[in-house]
Homo-oligomer: A and B are copies of this chain.
């Protein structure tokens, strides 16, 4: 603790006393997520520039005090802003919120880690940009950089987000600065357009890791297409899923569908469209089957629901794409409908960041989502598990056979969503939603989470990203990766001061 006091003094000098927070309120908020956590956060640092981040890390390195970087800290369901290990000082990058470049010709946006989806979208609107931002399932106040580093996924042609970023500026645990890609060379013209410059590609090393703090990143943006459609269909019967997934894979592989489709089950739809029907359920959880059936009938929903966005540069191309989708899917989905923009509302197809999906986290609350939602503060219980499933009907069936029954055994609805993130791989995203204020639920949720992860791993459907509630990687690997990752960690962070326990020990 003496070291901590010394470090705090040094940090105050380095970034200003007003940006080093040690008050109980801030520290407690920093330790609060949407599930049970026991991490103690000794302080919160808010550096305002890359140079200040360097200073903070050099002090941490010299005095061996662990720090845990977050961009906006909105990683709901995976730990919000809470450090993976107790005793880590939070390095919160929200003050670094400058948009550094927008290039309308080469179609990219360069930002600092504090820039949020809402802010970036507003900026593009303000500039009258012809480009679109990827939208995510998370909140509008999430950080673009934070999301990309977690390898999040979203809507739009660049929804496999980390495949479409470039030129990361990274501060290493020892204070050095690195730029991935050609941007490190004087006067490099292709810095923002070539992912990897000559030599080893280092960007991946800093995603889902604790090897560096990213202080700047370029996002490639797709043009807003003049012609957009939403193809949509209810699946009356979950038995159709297998065939539907196989045909969707064909459409993804051949390039007709150029972005993620989504398949939501009824529980997921209920939780976004409304709140838990406490009265109809007679106060019981999980949702009784007869209430579930009734809700489905009332809202005209199937067991699952498919959405496939189509974007095209011309009416002819949009029409031809829809023709092809219809030819492939209509036979198994007679309810398949193609909506134009004016029919579904501009916001949905124009990629406006929305808090709509946040409602899901308030599903089991007794009062509606407030105007300024804060699931951490509001006691929302919310745990996410995202698993990688090869995109075949057979694999999806097998994964669902694990993911569907388990939550119910612990008293939670299996709130499920299958995202066609790439042509060959879907993410099965399982949400456990509860009310943290209900005695015993916190413990039950984490128990359920661990049982789910174990069962999914055993079936071979490993997670695509990890929350702080997950054990660190390595132990299970059959190759020498644990050793090699250890060597890399020791080389770049010899005192282990950066985010111990986050993905790596």
A107-125 with Cβ < 8 A to chain B: 107-108
Q: Judge whether A485 and B194 touch: CB under 8 Å.
A: no
Q: Judge whether B208 and A196 touch: CB under 8 Å.
A: yes
Q: For the complex, is A503 an interface residue (Cβ under 8 Å from B)? A: yes
Q: For the complex, is A388 an interface residue (Cβ under 8 Å from B)? A: yes
Residues of chain B within 8 A of A296, CB atoms compared:
none
A317→B306 CA distance, assembly (Å): 23
Stretch at the interface among A81-89, A273-281, A321-329: A321-329
Q: How far is the CB of A17 from chain B (nearest CB, A)?
A: 29
A483-505 with Cβ < 8 A to chain B: 483-485, 487-488, 490-492, 503-504
- Knowing A388-B182, A479-B184, say if A151 contacts B196 (CB, 8 Å): yes
Q: Judge whether B179 and A481 touch: CB under 8 Å.
A: yes
Residues of chain B within 8 A of A314, CB atoms compared:
320, 323-324, 327
Residues of chain B within 8 A of A491, CB atoms compared:
487-488, 490-491
Q: Judge whether A157 and B481 touch: CB under 8 Å.
A: no
Stretch at the interface among A138-146, A442-450, A458-466: A458-466
Q: Judge whether B207 and A196 touch: CB under 8 Å.
A: yes
Contacts A105-B392, A200-B205 aside, 6 further interface pairs with beta carbons under 8 A come to A179-B479, A184-B477, A196-B204, A220-B424, A314-B324, A491-B491
Residues of A near any B CB (own CB < 8 A): 105-108, 151, 157, 162-163, 172, 176-179, 182, 184-190, 192-209, 211, 220, 222-223, 225, 246, 249, 253-256, 258, 311, 313-314, 316-317, 319-321, 323-324, 327, 388-392, 395, 422-425, 457-466, 473, 476-481, 483-485, 487-488, 490-492, 503-504
Q: Judge whether A194 and B464 touch: CB under 8 Å.
A: yes
Closest to A204 in B: B201
A206→B207 CA distance, assembly (Å): 16
- Select A488's contact among B188, B465, B488, B503, beta carbons within 8 Å: B488
Q: Among A188, A201, A202, A249, which residue has the most Cβ atoms of chain B within 10 A?
A: A201
Q: Judge whether A199 and B503 touch: CB under 8 Å.
A: yes
Residues of chain B within 8 A of A193, CB atoms compared:
388, 390-391, 422, 424-425
Residues of chain B within 8 A of A485, CB atoms compared:
199-200
Query: Which 10 pairs from chain A and chain B are nearest by CB?
Result: A201-B204, A491-B491, A176-B480, A189-B460, A193-B424, A200-B209, A190-B388, A316-B320, A320-B320, A193-B425
- Knowing A189-B390, A196-B151, A388-B182, say if A208 contacts B201 (CB, 8 Å): yes
Residues of chain B within 8 A of A480, CB atoms compared:
172, 176-178
21 contacts across the A-B interface (CB closer than 8 A)? A106-B249, A108-B424, A172-B484, A184-B478, A185-B457, A187-B458, A187-B459, A189-B388, A189-B395, A190-B461, A193-B422, A194-B388, A194-B425, A198-B465, A199-B485, A223-B253, A254-B313, A316-B320, A320-B320, A487-B491, A488-B492
Residues of chain B within 8 A of A162, CB atoms compared:
196, 201
Q: How far is the CB of A321 from chain B (nearest CB, A)?
A: 7
Q: Among A108, A311, A388, which residue has the most Cβ atoms of chain B within 10 A?
A: A388
Closest to A208 in B: B199
Q: Judge whether A391 and B106 touch: CB under 8 Å.
A: yes
Residues of chain B within 8 A of A316, CB atoms compared:
319-320, 323-324
A465→B198 CA distance, assembly (Å): 5
A133→B484 CA distance, assembly (Å): 33
